[in-house]
């Protein structure tokens, strides 16, 4: 058996040290695994090597990387061909541990297995290896199989080396005890690195799951907002990639790496997380009188009471008129006129309740005039036709929200910032609160909640503002409005670029790269997608 001299031992220690540095700095699992196997082969001068990883269900050892110098084989890892070999079963058909396979044995017992000549060993089943040798005219001889386990003893992988070669003669030799100890040390280091990467991946997956959990909560509370929480990050990333690829103009220096993209994506998912604190009847207020239900039905009932009261009063007067047909005819005409007026007022109130982009002052006055009526309630007491709250809501000029409700809605962004800033974000995600919390700010400083100007905002926050507005304009599922046509949405957005609302440079990229059209075909109703003449879009020069 070959003995190592001091120089060779020093070389192996150098290899272990270099690998330790690489293990600490590498973030790509495939590259890391390939490097582990390559160093193990080099350290022992092995002709081939295999690295197995346990399958998701822990029932197989999956081939992850397979290298063989003589056969010129390189499968798996970051640079190899796809793996074609099936995994090694960890259990047999009856559910017992598979102890016939040397790799499975090492995995089950956490022990290294060092075999000098597999053709002379009778402990394990090497029939598959024999077939492999026959098919490829190869001769497997010495095997070193070392399990890799994490700090809790859970299997991380199995490292298997084949055919150690004498450095001087090239003859196949057995793996020495020194070889085994060095590979066990390497496997231990590799297991720590792999566990570290796995824990990071699990934490990131947990974080994304928690983000999705919040969005599920918002979605269940309001399916309209849930859709918005899905589409805004999607549109944000589409625009961000276009800005990233821009090579001229004010945005030519903007670049993102994968970590930047992940940070922005998470910010997009969380940009409206504060809405989880907003009452659902405010978030989804479809009509002016809606609270937990639409009070227009209550108002309709009052009109019905007035209609019946008028009819009852007319019937009483007819009884008093007796056989005077002229008087009865006059009463009927008066009743018809009175009921027609009531029905007209009821229809008007129903329309006023829907809300819109601007209620005329004369319509507001008409609501107040109708409110001067009185009616007799179930308790027999006469009362005003509208309560103060109903009158205030029915005279809302824009949309369906009162001033206090609009403040409640706007407060969601303050809550978003408060919630996100309360979290201990890691360094690579530290900008999530700023990105997510800036989409209601304006370039001219007139936005909310902080009144930031363009120079005080990141590019990411500015482009998310465009995504948020465009999605809101085109969304057709909001209970309080119809989705606008694509051309109208671009006209509004263009005017926003001119009046200091959104960043004109980002808007230019949004139009020039036809991000709007890509999003429209993917997520908008085809009926909303009309012909676009970019030369007529305000704030854009083709």
pLDDT one-digit tens code per residue, 402-450: 999 889 888 999 999 999 999 999 899 999 999 999 999 999 999 999 9
pLDDT one-digit tens code per residue, 284-317: 888 889 988 899 999 999 999 999 999 999 999 9
**β-bridge partners, 147:** 158
- Model pLDDT, residue 1: 47
Q: With 80 as the cut, is the pLDDT of residue 203 above it?
A: yes
Q: Output DSSP code: residue 52.
A: E
Percentage above 70 pLDDT, the chain: 93
| Residue 79 C-alpha from the chain's centroid | 30
Mean pLDDT for 37-53 is: 90
Q: Check if the beta carbon of residue 118 is closer than 8 Å to that of residue 132.
A: no
Q: Measured between alpha carbons, how far is 313 from 322 in angstroms, rounded to an integer?
A: 15
Q: Which of 260, 265, 248, 228 is nearest to 512 (CA)?
A: 248
Rounded to 5 degrees, what are φ and ψ at 502?
Answer: -120, 165
Average pLDDT over the chain, rounded to an integer: 89
* pTM of the predicted model as reported, rounded to 2 decimal places: 0.72
Q: Which of 34, 239, 66 is nearest to 162 (CA)?
A: 66
The pLDDT-based confidence of 30 (bands split at 50, 70, 90) is confident
Dihedral of alpha carbons 124, 127, 131, 134, sign = positive
Question: What is the DSSP track for 215-267?
Answer: HHHHHHH-HHHHHHHHHHHHHHHHHHHHHHT--SSTTTT----HHHHHHHHHH
Omega of the bond leading into 428 within 30 degrees of 0 (cis): no
Q: What is the dihedral of CA 205, 208, 213, 214, to 10 degrees?
A: 160
- Model pLDDT, residue 321: 84
- Model pLDDT, residue 275: 86
Q: Which residues have a Cβ under 8 Å from the Cβ of 438 and sit 6 or more positions away?
A: 452, 457, 458, 461, 462, 464, 465
Mean pLDDT for 7-28 is: 64
Mean pLDDT for 360-367 is: 94
The pLDDT-based confidence of 82 (bands split at 50, 70, 90) is confident
pLDDT one-digit tens code per residue, 92-124: 888 899 888 899 999 999 999 999 998 888 778
Q: Output DSSP code: residue 276.
A: G
Percentage above 90 pLDDT, the chain: 57
Lowest mean pLDDT among 148-152, 333-337, 504-508: 148-152
Q: With 70 as the cut, is the pLDDT of residue 23 above it?
A: no
- Model pLDDT, residue 476: 81
CA angle 37, 33, 87 (to 5 degrees): 85
CA angle 355, 475, 348 (to 5 degrees): 15
- Model pLDDT, residue 415: 94
Q: Measured between alpha carbons, how far is 414 from 411 in angstroms, rounded to an integer?
A: 5
Q: With 60 as the cut, is the pLDDT of residue 2 above it?
A: no
Q: With 70 as the cut, is the pLDDT of residue 15 above it?
A: no
């Amino acid at each position: 058996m070959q003995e190592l001299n001091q120089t060779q031992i020093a070389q192996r220690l150098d290899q272990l040290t270099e690998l330790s540095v690489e293990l600490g700095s590498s973030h790509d699992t495939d590259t890391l695994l390939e490097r582990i196997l390559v160093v193990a082969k080099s350290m022992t001068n092995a002709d081939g090597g295999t690295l197995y990883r346990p399958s998701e269900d822990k029932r197989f050892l999956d081939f992850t990387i397979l290298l063989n110098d003589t056969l010129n084989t390189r499968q798996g890892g970051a640079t190899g061909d796809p793996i074609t070999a099936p995994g090694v079963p960890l259990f047999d058909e009856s559910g017992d541990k598979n102890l016939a396979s040397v790799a499975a044995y090492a995995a089950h017992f956490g022990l290294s297995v060092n075999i000098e000549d597999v053709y002379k060993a009778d402990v394990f089943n090497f029939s598959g290896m024999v077939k492999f040798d026959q098919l490829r005219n190869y001769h497997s001889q010495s095997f070193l199989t070392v399990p890799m386990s994490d700090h809790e003893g859970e299997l991380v992988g199995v490292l298997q080396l084949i055919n150690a070669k004498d450095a001087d003669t090239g003859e196949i030799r057995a793996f020495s005890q020194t070889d085994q100890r060095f590979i066990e040390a390497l496997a231990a280091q590799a297991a720590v690195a792999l566990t570290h990467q796995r824990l990071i991946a699990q934490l990131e997956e947990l974080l994304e799951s928690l983000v999705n959990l919040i969005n599920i909560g918002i979605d269940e509370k309001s399916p309209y907002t849930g859709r918005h929480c899905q589409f805004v990050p999607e549109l944000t990333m589409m625009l961000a990639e276009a800005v990233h690829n821009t090579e001229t103009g004010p945005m030519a220096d903007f670049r993102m790496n994968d970590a930047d993209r992940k940070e922005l994506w998470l910010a997009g998912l969380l940009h409206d997380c504060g809405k989880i604190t907003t009452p659902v009847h405010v978030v989804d207020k479809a009509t002016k009188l809606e609270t937990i239900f639409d009070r227009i039905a209550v108002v309709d009932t009052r009109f019905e009471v007035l209609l019946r009261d008028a009819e009852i009063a007319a019937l009483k007067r007819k009884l008093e008129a007796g056989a005077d047909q002229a008087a009865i005819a006059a009463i009927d005409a008066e009743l018809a006129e009175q009921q027609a007026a009531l029905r007209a007022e009821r229809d008007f109130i129903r329309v006023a309740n829907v809300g819109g982009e601007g209620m005329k002052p004369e319509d507001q006055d008409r609501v107040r005039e109708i409110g001067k009526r009185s009616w007799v309630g179930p308790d027999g007491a006469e009362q005003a036709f509208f309560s103060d709250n109903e009158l205030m809501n029915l005279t809302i000029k824009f949309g369906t929200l009162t001033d206090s409700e609009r403040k409640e809605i706007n407060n969601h962004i303050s809550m978003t910032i408060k919630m996100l800033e309360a979290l201990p974000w890691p360094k690579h995600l530290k900008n999530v609160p700023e990105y997510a919390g800036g989409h209601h700010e304006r370039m001219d400083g007139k936005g909310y909640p902080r009144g930031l100007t363009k120079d005080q905002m990141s590019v990411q926050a500015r482009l998310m503002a465009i995504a948020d507005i465009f999605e809101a304009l085109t969304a057709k599922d909001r209970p309080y409005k119809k989705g606008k046509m694509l051309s109208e949405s671009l006209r509004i957005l263009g005017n926003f670029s001119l009046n200091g609302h959104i960043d004109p440079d980002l808007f230019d990229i949004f139009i020039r790269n036809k991000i709007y059209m890509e999003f429209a075909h993917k997520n908008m109703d085809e009926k909303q997608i009309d012909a676009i003449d970019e030369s007529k879009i305000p704030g854009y020069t083709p």
